Structure 1
Amino acid sequence: MNKYIKAIFFAALIGLTACSDDFLTVEATDSQEAGGTATEDDLLSYLGSSYQLLLFDSYADYQYNSVPLMSDLLSDDIYKGGGSAGDQQVLYNMSQYNLNADLTPTGLWSIYYSGLSRCNETIAACENSVDVDEADLLQYSAEAHFLRAYYVHWLWKFWGNIPYFEEELEDPFMAPQYTADEIYAELIEDVDYAIADDKLPMQTTAANDGRASQAAAMMLKARIVMYQQDETKYAEVLADMEEIINSSEFSLVDDFASIWLSDGEFGSGSIFESNQLSEGKDWGAAWSGYGTNLPAFISPSELSGDDLLSDVTDYEGGWGFAPVRAATAAIFEDGDERLAASINQFEDDAYSARFQNTGYFLAKYAAREGYNDDPNNTSLNYDNNTRIFRLSEAYLNAAELIVMDGQSPTSVSAQSCLDAIRTRAGMTSIDATTDNIKLERRREFVGEGMRFWDLVRWGDTDLLTESISDYSSERTWDDTRKYFPISQDEIDKTSGDYLLVQNDGY
């Protein structure tokens, strides 16, 4: 695994203090006061600090905050699982659309506001730089704008109407609350800046794996625009998807299962992923380290048997969260190679069944032998990278924009895009219809946190209301559930013109 990001994290720890309870500020050391001139070493320190937030996705602020997991809990693909409904109560209530101002994922809020603050500092340092090569300076600035958009887009998706700031906050450290549409405009400004003028390479070199690229910025723009349903930008997004597909920089990996192995990290179909390492996270240090907890979180408890759906037998046990629904396993056709790579099924006596057990478990990020060499904090320090953007998403975005949104391609067809995905899965061609494209997205991205956001933007949220007594899932969707409630603690910190207004329905 490439160590570039880790190296600049060490620089970040020298130049900046670690996160604290006041996550809206980043304190500079005496050698680099905020607003002062910045050398290239200073810029790399700030940039490393900005990237570091990618490593806090699974556990930080003493909470479990995996975005793929939390996104899928809102969908119809998995249950919460774990020891009981009360085990990680916020996650269970989230899965039931039953959060409130006193029970909302505050760790996720802290993580991504820390990311916003750090990116602001990096951008400010770029603006005050001295003796830095112009091309390098533009690249650093574009990376920071991309990361800022990436972090804020999660706040926007989860909470909608949020505080936003692009300059260092001063006492009393409050920022104005923007509407979701106003945040959308800021996101587009940042991703367009990152994409324009070739400030970033289309793909990184192996030495820079883990850094942002132009393709990553294009993929982020696609997610933002398509979620907003901004038809005025669909043509731009389709053109971006075609450019990525037709570039010589990426190709679909033939063996789908290999994508999720250690050797598959930063593979030919990878556009952007985190750079996890199996070290550094500690139960008593909520803002440190490089490992991920997700594999332990989603793997069956006390596992001792073999996997029934593949010939891989190197899985390890975990905590039994996120059991996959039987209906999700049933969406795959016979012979689809993605099934065994996405969903594990074990013998009944091979593990200890826990709350909402279905017999199915997520496989892509499952705990495996040899993926963790930390003897003291094993559950927190698996080295599985999170695959954030993959080439297959560009293919399926293009197919959707052509068929479902009426866009005219210049160099691909919806059918060729869908066929490429199905051929790699060992499947035959099917017509590129709306229903088939939607189903193929679900099959392709099981366990990657895509399904819920797709259902919301397609207007298919009727699929989310359910009454399933056997699995303790009684939930009702209405449009106020699109956003989480803002924490009452955060509201109580604000006043006057900066008083946070709670989202509708809470």
Structure 2
Amino acid sequence: MKSKILFAFGMLSVFTLSGCSDDFLDLTPPTDTVGEYFNTQEHVEEALVAAYNPLQWPDWGNGYYCPINLMSDIMADDIWVGGSSKTDNQFWHLMMNFEALPNQTPAGLWTDEYSGVKRANDVLSYINDSRDELSQDFIDKASAEARVLRAYYYNNLWKFWGNIPFFTDNLEAMPYTAPQLKADEVYENVITDLKDVLDKNLLPMKADESELGRVTQAMGYMLYTEMVMYQNDESRYGQALQYMRDIISSGLYDLNPDYAALWKESGEWCQESIWEINYKSENAVRSYSNPLASGGTVLPRLISPNQWVDGTAGVAGGWGFCPVRTETYERYAGNDTRRDATCFNAAANGEYNKRYQDTGFFLAKYIATPDGNAGQKADADLNFNNNLRVYRYAECLLNAAELILKTGGDQAEALRYVNLVRQRAHIATLESVSEDIIIRERQLEFVGEGKRYWDLVRTGKAPQVLVPDEYGYRTNTWSESKKYLPIPDTEMSSDPNLKQNDY
């Protein structure tokens, strides 16, 4: 499948314009100004493709390892942090214990997501300035893509930091500061703009094979629903449920019968995939000297057993981060096919160097394979070919089930959606359903996918679940004051008007 996809969303050849950060704007164009360069459809398309590029950066970029799925899950109760010690990627360990500091927080993620916002804003600006040179179809679709991308980037900033600088027109003069909005204000701005673009129905429900990786109507529906559910915005539950039903009734998506197959390269962009972030190894040029270049991902190397003999049990070695908790493995029924597809039992399959917080279990979904970085041309660690699965049809079904219950709908319909997920896992179906049951099902379904922490916070379960553990790793209890990470100190020093979050 990957060989059939034009990587970097169909425009790798033009996307190589961009080196690091926003360097593509520093190129000397064939006209006098950037504005004059980005005044044709071809060149605005270049800018649009560049707005996708920051999606790839968080795993390693701007000096930090910040895979969004791991940054979320280490604060929950399914995986540990691991590594060599509690000072290895120390900010991860501090996040896990709810004691992050302004100088020990995922500052790279902040930069990555604001780079995405900036680039999306650029696209909208170029379109506005060059409307007479562009077709209306292109204007409509490119504008919709840029706005949905911007909402995605802001969603990540909003969830992690809450009270953030917000702007929809790029800052043009020093000191490049924007008003800091409260979290509720950020939400209202983003969700309103996202709803407006979704109402226009300018994007396909599912991307053509040549454009896999571009945002779609279904991806926008999932993003909208994620935000509404995290905000506990009862006024928008009905709309979110309608979006989930639209995806279900479209007939374009379905559960993949084999859960384990979802995580293989052949499972990328399968019938269950609503949206993935593309990575590839073949001819990938991502390197430690140029980590923002297009290519692969470091995620498999991060999470695989340390000093493992490559090839044993089809697994390659890694750095031993994010071991799966023993309690997570034991939470599954023995016949639940998700268990072994989620938890690789390294202790039963080979020898390796047991690092900090070792349990013997590692995240099988993205585990490194011996040929996982085949064909790369730069640094092997950074160029594995695993796409990051962001939204799956299973989540659509469970979202719909939960929203049906929240809105007083037909319990039989909600139960049917939950049982579809359970049947795929080869476990017994249920005779009744509740919101608590759905949250437990989500925990089993999405280990390592960055969903659990946000579920615990939005349902009010975090203070009861995220408590000191018996091992002495987590010694603090989550509280409302820990909902948002501290803003990086580099940002605080550059803008004296920013108000720091509690920490």
Letter of the structure 2 residue corresponding to residue 232 of structure 1: S
Residue number among 253, 258, 273 corresponding to 1:255 in the alignment? 258
What aligned pairs does 1:87-236 form with structure 2 within 5 A after superposition? 87-129=88-130, 130-169=132-171, 170-236=173-239
How far has the Cα of 1:435 moved from its partner? 2.4
Taking the aligned partners of 1:187 and 1:409, their CA distance within structure 2 comes to: 30
Counterpart in 1 of 2:380? Answer: 378
Taking the aligned partners of 1:93 and 1:269, their CA distance within structure 2 comes to: 35
How far has the Cα of 1:428 moved from its partner? 1.9
Comparing 365-374 with 222-231, greater Cα deviation is found at: 365-374
Q: Is the 8 A contact 1:271 1:390 kept in 2?
A: yes
Deviations 1:217-260 (A, max 9, x none): 00000000100111000000001101101112111110011111
Letter of the structure 1 residue corresponding to residue 499 of structure 2: V
Deviations 1:103-124 (A, max 9, x none): 1111001100100000000111
Deviations 1:385-429 (A, max 9, x none): 0011100111000111122x134369x810110011011111121
Deviations 1:457-492 (A, max 9, x none): 000012444333535321221111100001122111
Query: Secondary structure in 1 aligned to 2:475?
Result: strand
Letter of the structure 2 residue corresponding to residue 394 of structure 1: C
1:292 aligns with 2:293: no
Taking the aligned partners of 1:222 and 1:12, their CA distance within structure 2 comes to: 31
How far has the Cα of 1:379 moved from its partner? 1.2
Counterpart in 2 of 1:321? Answer: 321
Query: Secondary structure in 2 aligned to 1:120?
Result: helix
1:281 aligns with 2:286: yes
What aligned pairs does 1:23-34 form with structure 2 within 5 A after superposition? 27=26, 29-31=28-30, 33-34=33-34
Q: Which contiguous aligned blocks of 4+ residues in structure 1 show a shift greater than 6 angstroms?
A: none
Q: Is the 8 A contact 2:53 2:294 kept in 1?
A: no
Q: Is the 8 A contact 2:414 2:433 kept in 1?
A: yes
Q: How many residues align?
A: 491
Comparing 371-380 with 319-328, greater Cα deviation is found at: 371-380
Taking the aligned partners of 1:241 and 1:333, their CA distance within structure 2 comes to: 28
Taking the aligned partners of 2:342 and 2:311, their CA distance within structure 1 comes to: 16
Q: Is the 8 A contact 2:311 2:369 kept in 1?
A: no
Q: Is the 8 A contact 2:398 2:442 kept in 1?
A: yes
TM-score by length of 2: 0.93
Identity of aligned pairs, percent? 35
Deviations 1:70-104 (A, max 9, x none): 10000011111000001111111111111112211
Q: Is the 8 A contact 2:191 2:224 kept in 1?
A: yes
Deviations 1:284-328 (A, max 9, x none): 223223210000000111123988xxxxx2111100000111111
Taking the aligned partners of 2:264 and 2:386, their CA distance within structure 1 comes to: 8
Letter of the structure 2 residue corresponding to residue 157 of structure 1: K
What aligned pairs does 1:13-92 form with structure 2 within 5 A after superposition? 13-14=16-17, 18-19=20-21, 27=26, 29-31=28-30, 33-36=33-36, 38-92=39-93
Q: Structure 1 residues 180, 208: closer, same or farther in 2, change over 3 A?
A: same
1:413 aligns with 2:413: yes
**Unpaired stretches in structure 1, ≥5 consecutive residues:** 308-312
Counterpart in 2 of 1:302? Answer: 307
**Unpaired stretches in structure 2, ≥5 consecutive residues:** none
How far has the Cα of 1:9 moved from its partner? 4.2
Taking the aligned partners of 2:457 and 2:324, their CA distance within structure 1 comes to: 20
Letter of the structure 2 residue corresponding to residue 377 of structure 1: D
How far has the Cα of 1:368 moved from its partner? 1.1
Taking the aligned partners of 1:223 and 1:266, their CA distance within structure 2 comes to: 20
TM-score by length of 1: 0.93
Counterpart in 2 of 1:364? Answer: 365
Counterpart in 1 of 2:339? Answer: 339
Q: Structure 1 residues 293, 305: closer, same or farther in 2, change over 3 A?
A: closer
